[in-house]
């Protein structure tokens, strides 16, 4: 029994969710299905699933990547989640972060500005139709849903094209934002589904516009810093509540400690989660979702894998249940995952994956330090007589040795993840961690 791992009889927050971001290092089909039992054991009852290019899109099949799940896998996963009492909330981007859509030739004309792949122009006639088709596509497999997340965050070039500029000048930014999303909110409402959007684009809206929004959608407030309320002011949250908005909170269990991290920064992740859970309890928010970003955006290298982040994941679940960080959290996570392993739950890859990731991250950071050290020794421009050829030769050798070590450790990382992620993505991760280092070292050694 897992009772000894959880103290409270009732959880601190009712919706305790994990975000699966499938646009980087996506779990293999088998791994996706096996994850459900672990989440259930950790008392997770909600999954925010961002299928992105892993979904078997039928409206626009070219949006699938080469290892996209089959419809059968998606349905089987959803059925398993249902049986485990885990509510699935799908996430489809509707405004920003639409790189997977807007990078494809048929949709390039829908960009707000031609050079920015991420943002949709709400003034193009087909903009809403495309998003609605994606939403409908998801509904085909997901059966009855309570919530549907429409993204809507970080629309960097919002209101910049000529047509949008004119609308903003006439009616303001909030009106333009609402005009794009309202038909989609309305469509979901007709199906009995409540939409959710991220909160960052509406933080400075006037109260009257927030009230209009509150009738139509929930807001998911996000910040992933150790203290999330340094940048995201509590006043903003209070303004949302005053306008009648139903709020969710989003922390992060992974994917928020640098775009090239190999491991989550556990103390920061736990502090962030605990702060949000406390805030959610105080403000009676609907729930807390621990996001698990796989890339900072579609167009950058993947960050840390799900496998190396399972300790952070189960600790987020623990904090959502108890309302606070347990004493000796790392030890709690090891014991809990050990318990899961003995019970036959699929966690055994965590330990070798974590070790490989820690070694790799440490070694990569060391090389960047060594490059710095070499450059300082080799470039005493004002005092060339002080350049020590012996030390330069030695520093060059250290760089060569470290590069070899990075490549060896990246292979170990790759090996430890076999079976958990399709091989093609593991090879891409290997290259993302070794190529920049190799090119830097080659460049330094060739130039000096």
Catalytic, out of 154, 334, 358, 407: 154
The answer to whether 154 is a known catalytic residue is yes
- Nearest distance in Å: CB 123, Zn ion: 4
155 counts as binding Zn ion under rule CB under 5 A: no
Phi and psi for 325 in degrees, rounded to 5?
A: -75, 135
- Nearest distance in Å: CB 23, Zn ion: 25
157: exposed, middle or buried (Cβ count in 10 Å: 0-12, 13-18, 19+): middle
Q: Which stretch binds Zn ion (CB under 5 A): 121-129, 198-206, 213-221, 338-346?
A: 121-129
88 counts as binding Zn ion under rule CB under 5 A: no
Q: Which stretch binds Zn ion (CB under 5 A): 119-127, 298-306, 310-318, 439-447?
A: 119-127
Q: Which stretch binds Zn ion (CB under 5 A): 104-112, 174-182, 330-338, 351-359?
A: 104-112
120 counts as binding Zn ion under rule CB under 5 A: no
Number of chain positions touching Zn ion (CB under 5 A): 5
121 counts as binding Zn ion under rule CB under 5 A: yes
**Contact yes or no for 434/410 (Cβ under 8 A):** yes
Nearer to Zn ion, 112 or 307 (CB): 112
Nearer to Zn ion, 167 or 203 (CB): 167
- Binding Zn ion (rule: CB under 5 A), the pick from 161, 178, 220, 333 is 161
22 counts as binding Zn ion under rule CB under 5 A: no
- Nearest distance in Å: CB 129, Zn ion: 16
Nearer to Zn ion, 125 or 192 (CB): 125
Q: Which stretch binds Zn ion (CB under 5 A): 110-118, 126-134, 241-249, 322-330?
A: 110-118
123 counts as binding Zn ion under rule CB under 5 A: yes
164 counts as binding Zn ion under rule CB under 5 A: yes
**Contact yes or no for 49/292 (Cβ under 8 A):** no
Q: Which stretch binds Zn ion (CB under 5 A): 164-172, 180-188, 224-232, 312-320?
A: 164-172
C-alpha angle 58-184-218 in degrees, rounded to nearest 5: 115
Nearer to Zn ion, 121 or 290 (CB): 121
- Nearest distance in Å: CB 101, Zn ion: 15
Nearer to Zn ion, 121 or 184 (CB): 121
Active site residues: 154
Per CB under 5 A, residues contacting Zn ion are 112, 121, 123, 161, 164
């Amino acid at each position: 029994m897992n009772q000894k791992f959880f103290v409270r009889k009732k959880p601190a927050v009712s919706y305790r969710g994990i975000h699966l971001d499938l646009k980087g290092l996506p779990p293999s089909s088998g791994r996706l299905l096996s994850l459900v039992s672990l989440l259930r054991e950790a008392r997770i009852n909600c999954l925010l699933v961002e299928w992105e290019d892993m979904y078997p899109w039928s409206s626009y099949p070219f949006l699938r990547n080469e290892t996209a799940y089959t419809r059968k896998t998606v349905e089987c996963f959803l059925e398993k989640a249902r049986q485990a009492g885990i509510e699935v909330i799908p996430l489809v981007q509707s405004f920003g972060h639409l790189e997977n859509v807007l990078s494809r030739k048929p949709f390039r004309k829908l960009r707000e500005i031609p050079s920015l792949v991420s943002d949709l122009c709400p003034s193009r006639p087909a903009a809403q139709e495309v998003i609605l088709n994606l939403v409908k596509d998801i509904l085909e497999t997901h059966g009855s849903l309570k919530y549907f997340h429409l993204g809507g965050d970080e629309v960097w070039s919002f209101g910049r094209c000529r047509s949008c500029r004119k609308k903003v000048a006439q009616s303001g930014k909030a009106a333009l934002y609402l005009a794009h999303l309202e038909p989609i909110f309305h469509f979901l409402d007709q199906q009995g589904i409540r939409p959710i959007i991220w909160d960052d684009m509406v933080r400075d809206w006037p109260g009257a516009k927030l009230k209009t929004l509150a009738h139509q959608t929930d807001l998911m407030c996000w910040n992933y810093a150790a203290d999330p309320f340094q940048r995201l002011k509590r006043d903003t949250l209070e303004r949302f509540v005053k306008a009648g908005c139903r709020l969710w909170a989003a922390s992060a269990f992974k994917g928020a400690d640098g775009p090239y991290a190999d491991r989550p920064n556990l103390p920061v992740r736990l502090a962030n989660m605990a702060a949000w859970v406390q805030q959610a309890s105080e403000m009676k928010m609907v729930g807390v979702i621990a996001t698990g970003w796989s890339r900072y955006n579609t167009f950058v290298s993947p960050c840390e894998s799900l496998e190396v982040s399972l300790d952070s994941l189960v600790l987020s679940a623990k904090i959502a249940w108890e309302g606070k960080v347990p004493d000796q959290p790392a030890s709690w996570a090891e014991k809990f995952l050990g318990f899961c392993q003995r019970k036959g739950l699929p966690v055994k890859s965590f330990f070798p994956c974590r070790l490989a990731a820690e070694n790799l991250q440490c070694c990569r950071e060391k090389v960047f330090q060594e490059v710095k050290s070499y450059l300082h020794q080799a470039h005493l421009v004002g005092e060339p007589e002080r350049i020590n050829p012996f030390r330069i030769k030695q520093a060059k050798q250290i760089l060569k040795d470290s590069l070899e070590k990075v490549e060896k450790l990246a292979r170990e990382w790759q090996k430890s993840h076999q079976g958990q992620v399709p091989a093609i993505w593991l090879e891409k991760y290997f290259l993302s961690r070794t190529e920049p280092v190799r090119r830097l070292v080659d460049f330094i050694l060739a130039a000096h």
